[in-house]
Amino acid sequence: MTWMVTGGAGYIGAHVVRALREAGTAAVVLDDLSTGHRRFVPESVPFVQADLADTDAVRAALVEHGVTGVIHVAGFKYAGVSVDRPLHAYRVNVTGTASLLQAMQDAGVERVVFSSSAATYGTPDVDLVTEATRTAPESPYGESKLIGEWLLADQARATGLRHTSLRYFNVVGSGDPALPDTSPHNLFPLVFDALVAGRTPRVYGDDYPTPDGTCVRDYVHVADLALAHVAAARRLEAGEPVEPVYNLGSGRGTSVRQIMDTMAAVTGIAFTPEVHERRPGDPARIVADGRLAARDLDWRMRHSLEDMVASAWAARRAGEPAPTR
């Protein structure tokens, strides 16, 4: 069995590739390097640089490498930016996914694990989000991920495609110091960048109806997330039943202030975050019930909050001098 990881040169995709290899499963990476890094792909893993919208190139890669399943991680992942660039988000996430599914059909590849998102839920009105919670995305990004799930379901009805979608919550940490999160929009890199530059990190709103007034989110370690992809791929390979969607969340929330306190403790850089006004559309709390994934995908929290911060900080610092403050 050989699994193609689209977006395998990115932060999450590269962790999935390593988890596949550690499980003894052959992998091939397809990535256009628009946000990924060639150095994230191990030299022993075949690499194809191509745009998902290029159906012929994707089809050729599937055939050449004898691919039997796809873990589809590639995508435009910035919810806030997607509001200003909706057409780009749809081209990458919807048109790209449709192109991939066409290439898979042409090549006779009948298994896919799809990288979805908690953004499909929008602002939920429940304390604990389950897979049955109503989807109501509030950004083109969230909408595009939900459409991706629909595409898989429609293709399954038409062709027998076997699929599952993993709805990520807040993915952080690093399973390898060589694999940092380099997103310019995610909380951890934003805080680390501020600390490295000698700036004070920001908190947006401290008057929410939460224990300490700051937003509560569901943080999961990227290495745990990668293992869930491998488990999903194995179930598809074995012909075992899978749910159409799984939440990958911890079942417990962590506030932004708790994150900041842990970052100060782990980095050794004392700071009091600047408090700014709330950002429009930020819900007070989003926490997921991950019991379905625990049942089927061996989904569990193998890392503490301190582990998440420490591993992310180690990856951020790798190759550069420690900051002074």
Look at residue 127 in the predicted model and tell me its pLDDT.
Answer: 86
In a domain, residue 100? The reply is: yes
Regarding whether 154 and 198 lie in a shared domain, the answer is no
Name the token pair of 56.
């012929």
Asked if 153 and 268 sit in the same domain, the reply is no
Distance of CA 97 to the CA centre of its chain: 16
301-317 per-position pLDDT tens digit: 999 999 999 999 999 99
Which residues are bridge partners to 112 per DSSP? Answer: 70, 163
Task: Among 248, 263, 291, give the residue marking a domain's end.
Answer: 248
Identify whether the C-beta of residue 33 lies closer than 8 Å to the C-beta of residue 241.
no
| Per-residue model confidence (pLDDT) at position 284 | 87
Confidence of residue 325 (pLDDT cuts 50, 70, 90): very low
Domain co-membership, 225 together with 207:
no
Domain end position, chosen among 248, 268, 289: 248
pLDDT digits (tens, 9 = 90+) for 194-229: 999 999 999 999 999 999 999 999 999 999 999 999
Q: Tell me if 12 is assigned to some domain.
A: yes
Check whether residue 192 and residue 228 sit in a common domain.
no
C-alpha to C-alpha distance for 142 and 182, rounded to whole angstroms: 21
Q: What CATH number is attached to the domain comprising 135?
A: 3.40.50.720
Roughly how many angstroms between the first and final C-alpha of the chain, as a whole number? 50
Same domain, 115 and 34: yes
Residue 178 lies in a domain: no
Q: CB–CB of 135/146 below 8 Å?
A: yes
**Quick one: 131 and 66 in the same domain?**
yes
- Mean pLDDT, rounded, of the chain: 95
Which domain range does residue 148 map to?
Answer: 2-172+220-248
122 by Cβ neighbours in 10 Å (0-12 / 13-18 / 19+) ranks as: buried
pLDDT value for 320: 65
**Nearest Cα to Cα of residue 17 among 305, 169, 225:** 225
Confirm whether 181 is domain-assigned. Answer: no
Q: Identify whether 324 is part of a domain.
A: no
Q: In this structure, are 299 and 240 located in the same domain?
A: no
Instruction: Find residue 113's DSSP bridge partners.
Output: 71, 164
Is residue 141 domain-shared with residue 278, that is, in the same domain? no
Please say if the pLDDT value at position 258 is more than 50.
Answer: yes
Which CATH number covers residue 303? 3.90.25.10
Query: Is 182 a member of any domain?
Result: no
Alpha-carbon dihedral sign for residues 207, 130, 3, 90: negative
In a domain, 179, yes or no: no
The total domain count for the chain is 2
Together in a domain, 96 and 241: yes
Shared domain for 38 and 161, answered yes or no, is yes
Could you list the active site residues?
141
Q: What is the pLDDT of residues 281-294, one digit of tens each?
A: 678 889 999 999 99
Q: Verify that 230 and 312 share a domain, yes or no.
A: no
CA–CA gap between residue 19 and residue 87 (Å, rounded): 33
Residues 20, 160 within the same domain = yes
Q: What is the pLDDT of residue 151?
A: 98
Give tens-digit pLDDT for 48-85.
999 999 999 999 999 999 999 999 999 999 888 999 99
Residue 180: inside a domain, yes or no? Answer: no
pTM: 0.95
